[in-house]
Chain A
Amino acid sequence: MATTDVMERPAKRLSAPATKRVLPGFGLSLGISLFFISLVLLLPISGLFIRAAGMGWEQFWFVITDPRVVASYKVTALAALAASLFNCVFGLLMAWVLVRYEFPGKRLLDAIMDLPFALPTAVAGITLATLFAENGWYGQYLADLGIEVAFTPLGIVVAMAFTSVPFVVRTVQPVLEEMAPEDEEAAMSLGASDMTVFRKILFPTLWPAVVTGGALSFARSLGEYGAVIFIAGNSPYISEVISLMIFVRLEEYDFPAASAIAAVVMTVSLLLLLAINVWQGRYLKRLHGG
Chain B
Amino acid sequence: MSIEIQGINKFFDKFQALHDINLTIPDGQLTALLGPSGSGKTTLLRIIAGLETPEEGRIRFSGRDVTDLHVRDRRVGFVFQHYALFRHMTVAENVAFGLNVLPRKERPGKPEIRKRVKDLLEMVQLEHLADRYPAQLSGGQKQRIALARAMAMRPEILLLDEPFGALDAKVRKDLRRWLRSLHDELHFTSVFVTHDQEEALELSDQVVVMSNGRIEQVDTPLELYGRPDSRFVFEFLGQVNVLSGRIGDGVMRQGDAWIRLPEGCENDDAQLYLRPHEVRLTQAASDQAHLPFRIEAINLIGAEVRIELKPDGWECEELWEVGISHTEFNARQPQRGDRCFAVPDVGHLFCEHAAEPKTLEWR
Contact = CB atoms under 8 A, between A and B. Distances in A.
Interface stretch (B78-86, B122-130, B199-207): B78-86
Contacts of A193: 72, 101
Interface in B56-112: 70-78, 80, 82, 84, 86-88, 97-98, 101-102
A13 to B, nearest CB: 35
Contact of B86 (A187, A189, A290): A187
Interface residues of A, number: 22
B133 to A, nearest CB: 6
A287 B72 contact: no
Contacts of A192: 72, 97, 101
B10 interface: no
Contacts of B82: 180, 182
A267 to B, nearest CB: 33
A196 B72 CA distance: 12
B51 A189 contact: yes
B129 to A, nearest CB: 13
A204 B135 CA distance: 15
A286 B135 contact: yes
B153 interface: yes
B149 A190 contact: yes
A192 B50 CA distance: 14
A185 interface: yes
Interface string A204-233: 110000000000000000000000000000
A189 B76 contact: yes
Contact of A190 (B51, B70, B88, B101): B101
A180 B81 CA distance: 12
B78 A200 contact: no
B153 A191 contact: yes
A21 interface: no
B71 A188 contact: yes
Interface size class of B (residues with CB under 8 A): 20 to 34
A287 to B, nearest CB: 5
A95 to B, nearest CB: 19
A189 B49 contact: yes
B136 A289 contact: yes
Interface in B109-161: 133, 135-136, 146, 149-150, 152-153
Given A205-B87, A205-B88, A287-B88, A189 B71 contact: yes
Contacts of B84: 180, 182-183, 185-186
B72 A189 contact: yes
A191 B72 contact: yes
Contacts of A286: 88, 133, 135
A196 B101 contact: yes
A230 B328 CA distance: 95
A290 B77 CA distance: 31
Nearest to B146: A186
A49 to B, nearest CB: 40
B78 A186 contact: yes
Contacts of A188: 70-72
B1 to A, nearest CB: 16
B135 A190 contact: no
